[in-house]
Chains A and B, each alone.
Chain A
């Protein structure tokens, strides 16, 4: 029996490979991205390890604040602490360190060096002791005067600078020139390029640019020979009980983890699409096995008639699935390794990829085989069980094709699943039930399976005939045959189309949400923003912004009536609602060991972003609806919020609300203004005077300045003047409202494009499925094709008919996907609207949806090219006389 199964399998190599390709693509994606994250996080770890090599202990503040993506910011320490650390017994050397993200390097071409999404640019002070210094000096010397700078060699190269050149640095306060005197690198001899871009100045300059005059970010120390890191840490902690002291090892690990966390998020995000691809592939495997089992009915019956037991028949089919699973896994691993290393190369411009190709981890291999074989076998179980129910007598019958009709019970099941899915979706989206995410996911799965596999067959035949109408118009028989062939086996058509449906559903949801968000942003800006112009930051790097002196210069520009600057910063709400939230989402437990002295002192709370505003002008420039309380009362120590936030958190005017800031600690601010709505940026507004005192360095910079002209006629003149003002600042642009809106929705476009790209994989797999099904169906229809050719169908007509058939199936799948996608997007938008009633507006991007349909149809036609060609090549006589 085993021999029969294997013989059969290898006799049909093409089918084996095409079936395997579907799963292999998904596996390749999964293992490729795993490999990529592995490569990246290994490189990052080794780079961070090199960076902080030689540091035995770090003395720092215990006040810490999360600022998103695993980053945290600590309160700086007083300058004098460095001297105190130096006095501790066991400390061989120590130094205060300035480490901030408050400046950008401007290249010779006048552009900022590095990309918005790449690693950050970090400002350091030059440390005399090479063991404690960031990186290793490769060339030249360290900065000795306040007009000198050292750069990492990678950034210098990107910026087009050599030693002796005048380097431009855009800090948060001004654009300055320095003379390049040294180049640094990572590793023992400074040969490795660092991930981060480092700008090293003398300590006073670094403190000024870092906006921590008289302070250090932290203090590092090296131990006397023979003293362990832990002993040094304990010694320092004993001498300076108020500070937090950690070992160099722990410090390094913390930094590695915060960067790896970002890489992990990226990896998880991309893996999701790998799993979607595999889910799509499941449909194809299921479908292929259904067809194979149906086509083999006679063969199976014959085996049964000559004495094969049911279990043997089942075993043979499952064995086939196992072999396909194994082949897929191997293919997937090979593709995945190529993909992973290829991507790593592509990434090497922003992350430094160290060393050669790391071996594929055992975990990745196990994952590939478990998923590859598991998914294939699970998909094949249904058809395999069906194959055991073939009665021996079927060997004698003529029919070898699954023509079973779609039943009433199918309708009942389908509707039941649909309703259950709808209810689950409702529960999940309205945040009821134990785990909304799981509910929504399960609901989406139920609805997709119900529509695609259970209800799909009920509508496949009539839909196929309707879709064939344009092809069959004017009595064109090839088109009519295409429609009939797509309709003749509704289950198969539905299952084939389902693979495409999934991809299209997701694309549709993304397209609709993106269009809705974009239009929401546009309409919010046009309805709420009363500014004529916006002086805006065009890079998204943390720490980039508008130098402080610009705001005043804008305000005094002739023709400017109002110039209202806005800043962004992190805040932790430590009120009752925030504490509840913190309990629901406990932070990842921090590392154990390597720490002495004060533990982290951040109180539990909910991390949010806040705006720093000028109360006198902000509410004039931004229309946030009716205000409770008066902006004129927004003195230091007060704040404003929106009605929804106040209602949700139970705040009322005059309440004192506790908030935590890394720089200033926990304090209570008085709620003095409640606005009717926000514009989607943030709903906590602090007067600038307070904001400046509480945010960590790096955030204390204008993000945008809203400008209102004296009269509309003054706008062009003001724009010219402002353009001149920011001409030297490469990251700052003066925008009108339309440009401003475009920039606000710009990142959305990028994200949408990336998601489209990832979903393309699912659609490609669906195409492999269409081609595969079509190939098998054609095999089944060999005799019919022979007859058609005999009575005069030309090869061209035959090819066209098959392409049209595939087009019909593809359009069917695409339309289903569109309908389900629109349904999902409506559900999602209901939830978003509930949270943002004044902002979110639902939009159907009709041209995009039409384009999706056309692409779906064309893709189907593309998938049919090879099967159609193969069908046209059939020898007419052989086809007619085939069994």
Chain B
């Protein structure tokens, strides 16, 4: 299929993505020919054991790292052709991020953290959208607080709000619930689910937690740099089963 067809329904994707670290004896193929697309308006989870390449895939898709060979795209842009500065702008304008921890700038208030990418771009946020996002994650009363005055769950919610606030083409989340207790984690995933279903956002989440993966529309399984399986409409039990099978 042609590029235009790919990008018609895909928010992001990779074609024959290869990422090699090191040389000779120490060579590690973190990604070994991955081809995948991530649909617009869907919540996709990427799973796999440590060293499977799931984080590398996400970093390359998000413009934080570059492939050795192959191509990745976000929206209608191929990242491999972009300069360092263009990549930065792409991250700022088209991509949202949620990391496992340390998502927020400690010297800025919650609201300032949310609007940070737009402030960096010198753009005014869409106020109606911003209000909607803030209400979705339930942050209204905490907007003027500094990150140190927020709980871990609240901090991650601010991070989700920041990722959504600029209406990016796609949001990448790297183990967003990894540092949270199960209740806060559940709440956060609920918000993310909500953002996809009700607000029409696109989220790709790396996780190793079957419960978290169950919130997604689709799960992609990686092992040794290859896509080994995928599942739609997952449940925690089915994901766990598949993981056991793959582990054997």
Q: Hey, which bits of chain A sit against chain B, CB under 8 A? A: 475-478, 480-481, 484-485, 487-488, 783-784, 787-797, 876-877, 880
Residue pair B107, A792 in contact (C-beta under 8 Å): no
Cross-interface CB contact of A795 among B88, B104, B107, B116, cutoff 8 Å: B88
Q: Which of B59, B104, B107 has the most CB of A within 10 A?
A: B107
Chain B interface size band reads: 20 to 34
Q: Which residues of chain A come closer than 8 Å to B116, judged between CB atoms? A: 477, 788, 791
Residue pair B106, A481 in contact (C-beta under 8 Å): no
B97 within 8 A of A: yes
B105 within 8 A of A: yes
User: Given A477-B119, A485-B107, 8 more contacts at CB 8 Å?
Assistant: A478-B120, A488-B106, A790-B91, A791-B120, A792-B121, A794-B85, A795-B85, A796-B85
Cross-interface CB contact of B88 among A477, A480, A787, A792, cutoff 8 Å: A792
B102 within 8 A of A: yes
Q: Which residues of chain A come closer than 8 Å to B84, judged between CB atoms? A: 795
B49 to chain A, nearest CB (A): 19
Q: How far is the CA of A876 from the CA of B64 in the complex (A)?
A: 7
Q: Which residue of A lies closest to B121 (CB)?
A: A792
Q: Which residue of A lies closest to B62 (CB)?
A: A790
Q: Hey, which bits of chain B sit against chain A, CB under 8 A? A: 59, 64-65, 84-85, 88-89, 91-93, 97, 99, 102-108, 112, 116-117, 119-122, 162
A81 to chain B, nearest CB (A): 86
Q: Which residue of B lies closest to A797 (CB)?
A: B120
Q: How far is the CA of A480 from the CA of B88 in the complex (A)?
A: 20
Q: Which residues of chain B come closer than 8 Å to A783, judged between CB atoms? A: 102
Residue pair A477, B102 in contact (C-beta under 8 Å): no
Residue pair B93, A792 in contact (C-beta under 8 Å): yes
A792 to chain B, nearest CB (A): 2
A433 to chain B, nearest CB (A): 48
A-B pairs with beta carbons under 8 Å apart, 9 shown: A476-B122, A481-B107, A488-B107, A791-B91, A792-B117, A794-B88, A795-B85, A797-B120, A877-B59
Q: Which residue of B lies closest to A876 (CB)?
A: B64
Dominant secondary structure of chain A at its interface with chain B: helix
Q: How far is the CA of A501 from the CA of B108 in the complex (A)?
A: 29
Residue pair A793, B99 in contact (C-beta under 8 Å): no
Residue pair A784, B105 in contact (C-beta under 8 Å): yes
The answer to whether residues A791 and B117 also contact, given A476-B122, A877-B59, A880-B99 and a CB cut-off of 8 A, is yes
Cross-interface CB contact of B97 among A477, A791, A794, A795, cutoff 8 Å: A791
The answer to whether residues A484 and B108 also contact, given A792-B93, A794-B88, A795-B88 and a CB cut-off of 8 A, is yes
Q: Which residues of chain A come closer than 8 Å to B103, judged between CB atoms? A: 787
Q: How far is the CA of A478 from the CA of B102 in the complex (A)?
A: 19
Q: How far is the CA of A477 from the CA of B91 in the complex (A)?
A: 17
Q: How far is the CA of A477 from the CA of B120 in the complex (A)?
A: 6
Q: Which residues of chain A come closer than 8 Å to B104, judged between CB atoms? A: 787
B117 to chain A, nearest CB (A): 5
Residue pair A792, B92 in contact (C-beta under 8 Å): yes
Closest 5 CB pairs of A and B: A792-B92, A484-B107, A477-B119, A792-B117, A792-B91
Residue pair B85, A787 in contact (C-beta under 8 Å): no
Q: Which residues of chain B come closer than 8 Å to A487, judged between CB atoms? A: 107
Q: How far is the CA of A484 from the CA of B112 in the complex (A)?
A: 12
Q: Which residue of B lies closest to A403 (CB)?
A: B148
Residue pair B93, A477 in contact (C-beta under 8 Å): no
Q: How far is the CA of A654 from the CA of B122 in the complex (A)?
A: 84
Q: Which residue of B lies closest to A481 (CB)?
A: B107
A357 to chain B, nearest CB (A): 51
A38 to chain B, nearest CB (A): 53
Q: Which residues of chain A come closer than 8 Å to B59, judged between CB atoms? A: 877
Residue pair B85, A481 in contact (C-beta under 8 Å): no
Q: Which residues of chain A come closer than 8 Å to B106, judged between CB atoms? A: 488, 784
Q: Which residue of B lies closest to A786 (CB)?
A: B102
Q: Which residues of chain B come closer than 8 Å to A784, judged between CB atoms? A: 102, 105-106
Residue pair B64, A877 in contact (C-beta under 8 Å): yes
